[in-house]
Structure 1
């Protein structure tokens, strides 16, 4: 990259970081201004950093030839469009009601730039969806009655989608502009401070010494890192580069090692505090506090990771993988003494959000400021100005995917809002389900997985929150349960074939078949596919209900998860026979619904099978020992 271009990119990135720090900690700008500046700087960076084509040859050509000129022009147009809206934000409502040629040109420009930015950052999936919705806005009045709308003029569509707060500049971009970028910068600051490696060392110290320690390190490290990361793939690449080779050395097959990493990294998106930035969008959509979303998501996320942890433990026991597989032993006391202070910013963030109920942008601002301050506690962890500068740039660059997803999703949401399509889609789902909540959940699950393929969690959630969640709410599902349901399955699409991005990334690191990794990952994460049904039919798992019922639901869910893991892995204290595995699985399914009678029956079935298998295994082991002695 040419030096002058590098300088421009650095200037734009730092300007964007400082703008968000100022607006987050000192003074938030009016909504239209905040979103316009945010979009202009982000889009300009996308065009200067990400080429039209992805091949190495084309990247070099675009940075040195005619492509560089085109990208520069697109970057300038982004700044011009954002600048116009920033300066004219007070007059914009009047201009949209009686649009001038300039207003229409700016609206068209914003839409086209948004589609191109989304294509460069996210691939073709979301732009194609957005284009389909745009076409529907233009020709929907000529379609069959069931999906027909009343019709809108070109000016109405352009101003609503390209300029208003019900389109590109709607709630998703507003949340991105207000605080999501700050949280991404916070994650980059933590990583640059050495906290990312500290999480891996902490996981090694906690579980590395036990059987199957390598896989358990992957689960714990991916959970810790993923809780502050915004991408399943980024989580895989960051932690997997260390944990996958570790698992392979420990005796796990390459496919299984990659599957464990992809499942654990995907789970990081559903674990508070940040949840891939979706927690803040969900709070905004539902008009509830962030703390409510984080607390509601906590128990299901814990169940998810407990299930994976049990699965890898049982696999290690079945294959006889012992603690000696982990070469790098970490002294926890020494680690916490030397690097424990690096966790202080994360603690500060959680306390500010949960205890002091501080706004998300203020909490993120002070959490970012606390990172270099916390690093001062020990000489070897102190951050230089160069590291801080680099972290700010890196955070902004990592946030570009979120900006692209939010702005493109704004097109979809704008068309849905304008045409009333969301109500029609919900009606279709309700009609297909015949009023059955279970069937509606199954239909919504498939819709969420399909819609989430190839998209980051933010993008898939935004679209599904408008299209699918209302139908579930209409059947009596608590709104937060419905939104968590679609979020889970949209996120799990990262390991679901055929477009399993997290599985593909892990397969590349493990040098094995992506499709095999995806299939093994789905088997490992089967519990994750069941957990959302648990909190739909037992909302106590998302803290809706009395304390006693919440405790009962959590205990029975953990028992059910353990039984499912044993059933799937086919191992308890020894290998299980086929019928025991089937009965165990059936017993665990009875624990999905928080009902005393079905739960007691399920628990009795599980306990009886495990007691029988434990006794049978002991007899078998004694017989083997007797044969050996003879």
Structure 2
């Protein structure tokens, strides 16, 4: 191998994979500028490069793994990368056949073989980057297409042969190369690249330094700094796990040194990073597909998600404040720079975010053009100050990281296409949606509870994107049929699908932060659930009162009332959870206040006032013991 490559295998493969990742990023930037490839060619090239990149990355890791793994894993992944290129090349040549639905039924034996090969490659690539759960579900779906006709009613469907199933999943625009991969291949990857450029522009350091300067004297200053910096960066990158690992490596040790328990410090970072997919402007992969499925501009999704995203962080801040006050942690080390100096020297780094929001929400520029101009704006904005110049090495690193970050998203979207194809061929989605309505007895509240439970169960084994897609096909139509606003229904399942990142037994964010903090996983997970209870309550709140997500043409007064009630409820919930305000709160009053807080959050005026009444005993107790508290 040394003589064949002329260099150390791991060094050569590192360079090849990095170069391919840069090429993938450049390909999407160039096609955004000069026009997409015709037909399905854009999607085919996108998927081919991503599959090759995944297998080459695995081969590179195998080369670094020593002699025990060098032989089998290295060569196997190199062969898989080569097969991906062959399958992609063949598919590119017959692209016109795939695009032409009238030619369904004319697939040759060679196309059948390539179709099977491509499906297998997608499953294996997903296993390597996403884990085993999602590929297994997809495999069960493919088996259901082929053998589901033999099942008893109502699960049966008209018989579909093996060749017909492969033809539909591979040889039609409703399968692998369907809507989900189209979103990934056009503008989703551009947002991933945008996040990579923002990370390399110095935004992380800027947000950390600014929040440290502003919050260092505040009660719980260091924990609030962690939430602020993680929240801002994660909302741009849209990657919760990557943010938990990168930002957590800095913030968690600082919190522990300041006196926070290890599990609490880890939970704070996990929950702050989890907001990556709830807070605009990027919001992760599923939000872009949501816009396509609901058929609304992405700007509407951003506006709808803004207030719930803000309220999510309100509960996190309130819990941090109360816990810090109870522990006597009044702040962190004083920053050597004033907030004004930090803003003057690096405040311009926030401009690309504002530019993106303006183009998406105000100017209503096409989402692909908005993403493209946002990427360019990052580079241009850094040149406003010499100390923030983005030099060629940093640009190359951003392109490389953007390409690598696209791997999991691209292959997940390919498998999502297969899932959508399974439901399309078998009609399973309509059957299960009808069954849910029947099970709920036509009751909206019961259906919402069933939906939440289903989302939590699916989310324990799947990433947010496949969880959302499966529920969007199975459950969302039932919610909409019972009169719920379409965007509210999709945001409802999106929120509950996102909970898995901080909810054991999976809780990937918690695994990452607990390993950094060296804390107990289950203790950290329990604290993370408490801090992220807004994720469980807000979906019910904006379904009951769509004014909270600016739906249903609400007047300003309705929006203000909805926000005030939710805000008051979440602050009250923080007191009930922590059992502390200005002094310790008795258990019975905590239970009473907790019920009142939930009613405040999910209840619509005037019912929500009952929740406020239930919280009055806590206010009276605090006044009697230590006086009325200052505002949090």
TM over 0.5: yes
Post-superposition shift, 1:145?
0.5
- Which residue in the other structure is 2:608 paired with? 599
- Which residue in the other structure is 1:252 paired with? 260
Whether contact under 8 Å (1:208, 1:329) holds in the other structure is no
Pick aligned residue for 2:584 from 545, 566, 575: 575
Post-superposition shift, 1:203?
2.2
| Per-residue CA distance 1:490-516 (angstroms, 9 max, x = gap) | 111111111111111110000011121
1:188 and 2:193 are equivalent in the alignment:
no
Task: Give the Cα separation in 2 of the matches to 1:430 and 1:88.
Answer: 43
Query: CA 1:71–1:274 in structure 2 vs 1: closer, same or farther (change >3 Å)?
Result: same
Task: Give the Cα separation in 1 of the matches to 2:510 and 2:203.
Answer: 25
Bigger drift between 405-414 and 118-127 goes to 405-414
1:142 and 2:150 are equivalent in the alignment:
yes
- Which residue in the other structure is 2:238 paired with? 230
Pick aligned residue for 2:17 from 9, 15, 29: 9
- Which residue in the other structure is 1:550 paired with? 559
- Which residue in the other structure is 1:426 paired with? 433
Task: Give the Cα separation in 2 of the matches to 1:456 and 1:61.
Answer: 33
Post-superposition shift, 1:579?
2.5
Post-superposition shift, 1:29?
2.0
- Which residue in the other structure is 1:514 paired with? 521
Runs of 4+ in structure 1 off by over 3 angstroms are: 1-4, 56-64, 325-330, 592-595
- Which residue in the other structure is 2:392 paired with? 385
Whether contact under 8 Å (1:204, 1:330) holds in the other structure is no
1:41 and 2:49 are equivalent in the alignment:
yes
Query: CA 1:250–1:554 in structure 2 vs 1: closer, same or farther (change >3 Å)?
Result: same
| Per-residue CA distance 1:248-288 (angstroms, 9 max, x = gap) | 11211001111111111111210000001322111111110
Task: Give the Cα separation in 2 of the matches to 1:506 and 1:605.
Answer: 36
- Which residue in the other structure is 1:74 paired with? 80
- Which residue in the other structure is 1:203 paired with? 211
Query: CA 1:4–1:588 in structure 2 vs 1: closer, same or farther (change >3 Å)?
Result: closer
Whether contact under 8 Å (2:28, 2:186) holds in the other structure is yes
Pick aligned residue for 1:114 from 101, 122, 139: 122
- Which residue in the other structure is 2:594 paired with? 585
Post-superposition shift, 1:518?
0.7
Query: CA 1:43–1:615 in structure 2 vs 1: closer, same or farther (change >3 Å)?
Result: same
Task: Give the Cα separation in 2 of the matches to 1:620 and 1:19.
Answer: 60
1:445 and 2:452 are equivalent in the alignment:
yes
SS in 2 for 1:65: helix
Post-superposition shift, 1:69?
2.8
Query: CA 1:369–1:125 in structure 2 vs 1: closer, same or farther (change >3 Å)?
Result: same
Bigger drift between 204-213 and 312-321 goes to 204-213
What is the aligned residue count? Answer: 617
**Alignment map for 1:438-587 (pairs within 5 Å):** 438-544=445-551, 545-587=554-596
Bigger drift between 85-94 and 295-304 goes to 85-94
Q: CA RMSD in A?
A: 2.0
Whether contact under 8 Å (1:35, 1:177) holds in the other structure is yes
| Per-residue CA distance 1:313-359 (angstroms, 9 max, x = gap) | 01111121112x33545421111111111112112111111121111
Bigger drift between 593-602 and 366-375 goes to 593-602
Post-superposition shift, 1:183?
0.7
1:22 and 2:33 are equivalent in the alignment:
no
Post-superposition shift, 1:389?
1.3
Post-superposition shift, 1:304?
0.6
Query: CA 1:235–1:11 in structure 2 vs 1: closer, same or farther (change >3 Å)?
Result: closer
1:615 and 2:623 are equivalent in the alignment:
yes
Task: Give the Cα separation in 2 of the matches to 1:163 and 1:119.
Answer: 23
Task: Give the Cα separation in 1 of the matches to 2:39 and 2:572.
Answer: 50
- Which residue in the other structure is 1:369 paired with? 376
Post-superposition shift, 1:596?
2.7
| Per-residue CA distance 1:22-62 (angstroms, 9 max, x = gap) | 2222202234111100000000000000259x8x7884459
Task: Give the Cα separation in 1 of the matches to 2:80 and 2:387.
Answer: 43
Task: Give the Cα separation in 1 of the matches to 2:483 and 2:468.
Answer: 20
SS in 1 for 2:144: helix
**Alignment map for 1:91-130 (pairs within 5 Å):** 91-92=97-98, 93=100, 95-130=103-138
Query: CA 1:136–1:385 in structure 2 vs 1: closer, same or farther (change >3 Å)?
Result: same
Task: Give the Cα separation in 2 of the matches to 1:84 and 1:206.
Answer: 57
- Which residue in the other structure is 1:627 paired with? none
- Which residue in the other structure is 2:160 paired with? 152
| Per-residue CA distance 1:196-215 (angstroms, 9 max, x = gap) | 22122222223232011111
**Alignment map for 1:302-321 (pairs within 5 Å):** 302-321=310-329
Task: Give the Cα separation in 2 of the matches to 1:113 and 1:61.
Answer: 26
Query: CA 1:112–1:95 in structure 2 vs 1: closer, same or farther (change >3 Å)?
Result: farther
- Which residue in the other structure is 2:220 paired with? 212
Post-superposition shift, 1:613?
2.3
SS in 2 for 1:46: helix
Bigger drift between 140-149 and 593-602 goes to 593-602
Pick aligned residue for 2:287 from 279, 292, 303: 279
Task: Give the Cα separation in 1 of the matches to 2:624 and 2:131.
Answer: 54
- Which residue in the other structure is 2:417 paired with? 410
Query: CA 1:169–1:614 in structure 2 vs 1: closer, same or farther (change >3 Å)?
Result: same
SS in 2 for 1:146: coil
Unaligned runs of 5+ in 1: 622-630
Task: Give the Cα separation in 2 of the matches to 1:572 and 1:365.
Answer: 47
Task: Give the Cα separation in 2 of the matches to 1:212 and 1:86.
Answer: 56
SS in 2 for 1:294: helix
